[in-house]
A and B are shown apart, each in its own frame.
Chain A
Amino acid sequence: MEPRIGFRNTKSVIFKWVIIFFAFIITIPLIVVLLYIIKQGVTQVNWHFLTHVPAPPGETGGGIANALMGSFIMVLMASIVAIPVGMLAGIYLSENPNTKLAYYSGLCVDVLQGVPSIVVGIVIYVWIVKPSGGFSAIAGSVALALMMLPIIIRSTEQTLKLLPDSLKEAALSLGVPYHRVIIKVIIPCGFAGILSGITLSIARVIGETAPLLFTALGNNYFSTNVTGPMESLPHVIYSYATSPYDDWHDLAWGASFILLMFVLTLNIVTKVLTRKWKIQL
């Protein structure tokens, strides 16, 4: 072996540099995409863009006020459903890890996380759009809520599992009823971790297009009617990006820029919140 040590060392060094090369080259597409979106989008964004609805093809101007409003309403409605359900289910999973129900709902969380978003769209179409007779923002919100659930449940479960048992035991020994222990002690202690799961889930669904295609559809006009079709940021990008008009492409670049900023902000918030909690999401 002795004479070959130089060769082995060289091989080791070469391997290291190959690994470094491959590991860092992946940041190139990310930087290229981000810079391109920012370059194309930032010039579009102004007050007019944020407060007006899209102009018909051929006319300049127009904005994405309807999409901003629609995304806000649908994500808000989805959160109202998904946050309590997700937190309670997460609490159940962390408090009763060995029951049969916990096993099956844990399995279902994994399944739900793996379901392609387009399939969620189909199912909500069959469940809500078909019986109610038309596309609606409500259907879109339910689809988004389903996509949010697994993330909220897993983050709640993992955060609460990190809390020491002594915390619960101390509260219980003071004679505090179980539900008050959960609400007054366990949830406040794990609040940052749970909150990070919520912000992450919002960051995920705000850019989801596929489940909205067959549920909320899209709407060229400003609408706050939740029983009718509603525009959303990702959908406005999809329909304008694939249109043949340059004006509409510009609109889509602007919308992409806004969407990207939302997602980045939410991810940074999540990062700051999870710094304290070493949870894997």
Chain B
Amino acid sequence: MYTKTLNFVENKRLELSDSQLKWEIFFKRLLIVMSAILVLVIIGVLVTLIQKSMPSIKSLGIGFLWGKVWDPVQNIYGAYPFLIGTLLTSFTALIISIPFSYAIAIYLGEYNQKGWLSDLLKNAIELIAAVPSIIYGFWGIFVLVPIVRSLEIKLGVAPFGVGICTSSLVLAVMIIPYSASLGITLIRMVPSPLKEGAYALGATRFEVIRNVVLPFTRTGLFAGVLLSLGRALGETMAVTMLIGNTSAIGNSFKEIFFGPSNTMASVIANEFNEADHDLYVSALIELGLVLFFVTVVVNLIGKRVISKASKN
């Protein structure tokens, strides 16, 4: 309908004055150029990252990813400690966050859809996402680190306070809104005839949620978790302030989990400005490239799943 109208206008073009016609063409081109700029920016980002990490890729090869030692002074670069650090913090945070974000999604999507209490909780969730990560980091240093330290003394591990454990706790809080708010929308979209059918068969509310609502929204909720993961992988400031920044990797799991460590993002944040020779800079940029790929893939899969889930 609309396209037809446009064509009609297109045909009537001759009636436009010269200056109007010029504006018309200029405006349409401007729109195209502006959206093309986006594509160029992303291609530019990708090309820049690949080109600048070429020296590192060439001289270190694929072994860069599982080299266990990161020692810029000796010119030895291995990303293994940072990969472990990133994966461990992100997945620990994700596992902690899932019960909460599912609970919020089910509560606000199913039990309490309207009213002041529901609005209040929803605004609180949005506020969690709005607080800058630097503030979580700062608060973590002065409040959470001492608490974790006293816990570590009780557990009998080296009481660093900072480390993967502390970062994961803060990260878990920070990523909850991303999966929760998507989950709320999706659970509210479950058609009520489905639920009513189950109630009519005598199902309790719990059974309706378990057997109708959750299976119906399963893929969408999974996509929300992916968005949270993408966010956790790339999170920089809060983690940089809380993880302790050590490039050495511990021997046992306990040592790694409670001890100071480094993630890909935090090592870039800490060392990029101090990197003094080309290979060092290039190795850091290669870390950035890996991070870029991982987060982009996780995010795109998440978005794909969402658009498919919301179409059904």
Interface residues of A (CB under 8 A from B): 1, 8-9, 11-12, 15-16, 18-27, 29-30, 32-34, 36-37, 85, 88-89, 91-93, 95-96, 101-102, 104-105, 107-119, 121-123, 125-127, 146, 149, 153, 165, 168-169, 172-173, 175, 177-179, 182, 203, 206-210, 213-214, 217, 234, 237-238, 241-242, 249, 252-253, 256, 259-260, 263-264, 267, 271, 280
Contact A19 B39 (CB under 8 A): no
Q: In the complex, which residues of chain B have a beta carbon less than 8 angstroms from the beta carbon of A256?
A: 134-135, 138
Of the residues A25, A114, A169, A271, contact of B295 by C-beta under 8 Å: A114
Neighbour of A26 across the interface among B130, B176, B273, CB < 8 A: B176
Decide if B251 is an interface residue (CB 8 Å cutoff).
no
The distance from the CB of B276 to the nearest CB of chain A, in whole angstroms, is 14
Q: Mark B278-298, 1 if CB is under 8 A from A, else 0.
A: 000000110010011001101
Supposing A116-B295, A119-B49, A177-B20 touch, asked if A23 and B139 sit within 8 A by C-beta, the answer is no
| B31–A267 CB distance below 8 A | no
Q: Say yes or no: A280 contacts B139, CB within 8 Å.
A: no
CA–CA, A258 and B101, complex, Å? 29
Report the minimum CB–CB distance from B120 to chain A (whole Å): 9
How many B residues touch the partner, as a band?
A: 35 or more
**Are the C-beta atoms of A16 and B111 separated by less than 8 Å?**
yes
Stretch at the interface among B63-71, B149-157, B231-239, B254-262: B231-239
CA distance A259 to B137 in the complex (A): 14
Which residues of B are in contact with A by a Cβ distance under 8 Å? 1-2, 5-6, 8-9, 12, 15-16, 20, 23-24, 26-28, 30-32, 34-39, 41-42, 44-45, 48-49, 52, 99-100, 102-104, 106-108, 111, 121, 123-128, 130-139, 141-143, 173, 176, 185, 202, 204-207, 209, 230, 233-237, 241, 265, 268-269, 272-273, 284-285, 288, 291-292, 295-296, 298-300, 303
**Docked-complex contact A242 and B269, CB < 8 angstroms:** no
In the bound complex, CA of A93 to CA of B19 (Å): 26
Give the Cβ gap from A239 to chain B, nearest Cβ, in Å.
11
Which residues of the partner chain B approach A27 to less than 8 Å between Cβ atoms? 121, 124
- Indicate if the CB atoms of A267 and B241 lie closer than 8 Å: no
